């Protein structure tokens, strides 16, 4: 359920008292309902659906045999749709190449990118994108033809390596070879099918991309066993939902939808047991699940928004197990901070 103007006013008055709310509104609309709803949420509510740009990597984002989008990032998008529009299907996924998706987001063609975008400083400052929480800690890998007999990246001296245009991989691979005082030839390709075909047709010796991408794409090659993913990770690729700058509330909705998935896992709340947790005496869990509606009211969402996410999709770990475990992924950095990983939700209060 989206934010309604009356919902916001109710929350405001409940929290701060009628007099204060009235005086704030009189004092120049400092906290107008419009500002609280935010232009992106308004647009999405009117349209009735979120527009998300995605890639085509199995496990992360790919349509199933019925044409329904599946994957780890797809479920992150569905969680945001549940929080904001109350329905996991109120999000449309459209494939966009790494080269085109950032300009398309800037142009308002997408409300969000869920395409394995890496958080970088130049994307934040020069391009003006904002990032939600990192949902997958990745690193750049190299997929190489097995018959080359190469076992480490530095062995690729003089090789031709395919890179996808518009990705962080372009700079990373150049940095890597410069750092090692070695040379290579880059073949830059935009289209994903061409990128994979270049490896299969021998136009390149190797391709480089996020390892998340290469693990999935390797399975799509005609003879996966003829290619090996080298052990090194050339870079840090923290992958996060990306939104255009200028709409803080939209960014916060994205942030907290992801945080809800992580926090639910930390508390051991799953799609199977969430109803049991409704009886919890823990005040933090009662606020989280909307048994105590104060958090939902304060932020202008259905108090059950986090409950609905977990009930429908599960927690972060369930998403990981559903989509990535079958591909052989282990949690590693993508584990909770309580289990030695990097995932940490700020508090729900």
Binding site for ligand GSH (CB under 6 A): 55-57, 60, 98, 115-118, 164, 167-168, 192, 210, 212-213, 237, 239
Minimum separation from the CB atom of position 64 to ligand GSH (A): 16
**For residues 57 and 134, which CB has a smaller minimum distance to ligand GSH in the complex?**
57
The maximal CA–CA distance of the chain, rounded, in angstroms, is 76
Minimum separation from the CB atom of position 167 to ligand GSH (A): 4
Q: Are 234 and 176 in contact (CB under 8 A)?
A: yes
Minimum separation from the CB atom of position 309 to ligand GSH (A): 23
Minimum separation from the CB atom of position 289 to ligand GSH (A): 33
Closest-approach residue to ligand GSH (CB): 55
**For residues 118 and 315, which CB has a smaller minimum distance to ligand GSH in the complex?**
118
**For residues 36 and 167, which CB has a smaller minimum distance to ligand GSH in the complex?**
167
In this structure, what is the dihedral angle of CA atoms 28, 29, 31, 35, given to the nearest 10 degrees? Answer: -130
Q: Residue 125: exposed, middle, or buried by beta-carbon count in 10 A (0-12, 13-18, 19+)?
A: exposed
**For residues 38 and 55, which CB has a smaller minimum distance to ligand GSH in the complex?**
55
**For residues 152 and 193, which CB has a smaller minimum distance to ligand GSH in the complex?**
193
Report d(CA 237, CA 223) in Å as an integer. 27
Minimum separation from the CB atom of position 242 to ligand GSH (A): 8
Strand order in the sheet with 160-164: 185-189, 160-164, 206-210, 140-145, 227-229
Residues 6+ apart with CB under 8 A from 145: 199, 202, 205, 206, 226, 227
**For residues 58 and 293, which CB has a smaller minimum distance to ligand GSH in the complex?**
58
Among 240, 242, 215, 241, CA closest to 229? 215
Q: What angle do CA 262, 266, 271 make, to 5 degrees?
A: 75
Minimum separation from the CB atom of position 330 to ligand GSH (A): 18
Strands (E), 197-294: 206-210, 227-229, 237-244
Among 29, 26, 34, CA closest to 8? 34
**For residues 32 and 194, which CB has a smaller minimum distance to ligand GSH in the complex?**
194
Minimum separation from the CB atom of position 91 to ligand GSH (A): 17
């Amino acid at each position: 359920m989206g934010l309604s103007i009356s919902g916001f006013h109710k929350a405001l008055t409940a929290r701060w008292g009628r007099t204060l709310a009235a005086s704030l509104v009189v004092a120049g609309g400092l906290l107008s309902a419009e500002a609280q709803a935010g232009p992106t949420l308004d647009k999405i509510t009117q349209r009735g659906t979120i527009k998300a740009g995605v890639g085509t990597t199995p496990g992360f984002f790919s349509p199933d045999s019925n044409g329904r989008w599946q994957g780890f990032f797809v479920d992150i998008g569905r969680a945001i749709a549940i929080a904001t529009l109350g329905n996991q299907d109120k999000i449309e996924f459209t494939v966009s190449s790494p080269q085109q998706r950032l300009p398309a987001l800037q142009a308002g063609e997408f409300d969000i990118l869920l395409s394995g975008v890496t958080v970088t400083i130049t994307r934040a400052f020069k391009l003006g994108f904002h990032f939600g929480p990192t949902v997958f800690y990745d690193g750049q890998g190299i997929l190489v033809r097995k018959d080359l007999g190469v076992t480490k990246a530095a062995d690729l001296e003089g090789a031709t390596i395919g890179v996808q245009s518009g990705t962080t991989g372009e700079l990373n691979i150049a940095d890597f070879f410069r750092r090692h005082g070695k040379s290579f030839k880059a073949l830059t390709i935009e289209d994903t099918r061409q990128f994979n075909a270049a490896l299969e047709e021998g136009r390149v010796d190797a391709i480089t991309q996020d390892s998340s991408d290469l693990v999935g794409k390797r399975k799509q090659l005609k003879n996966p066993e003829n290619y090996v993913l080298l052990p090194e990770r050339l870079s840090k690729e923290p992958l996060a939902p990306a939104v255009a700058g200028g709409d803080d509330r939209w960014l916060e909705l994205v942030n907290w939808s992801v945080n809800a998935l992580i926090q639910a896992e930390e508390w051991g709340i799953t799609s199977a047991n969430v109803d049991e947790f409704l009886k919890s005496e823990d005040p933090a869990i009662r606020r989280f699940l909307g048994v105590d509606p104060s958090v939902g009211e304060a932020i202008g969402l259905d108090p059950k928004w986090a409950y609905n996410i977990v009930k429908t999709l599960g927690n972060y770990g369930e998403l990981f197990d559903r989509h990535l475990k079958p591909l052989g992924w282990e949690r590693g950095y993508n584990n909770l901070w309580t289990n030695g990983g990097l995932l940490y939700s700020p508090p729900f209060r």
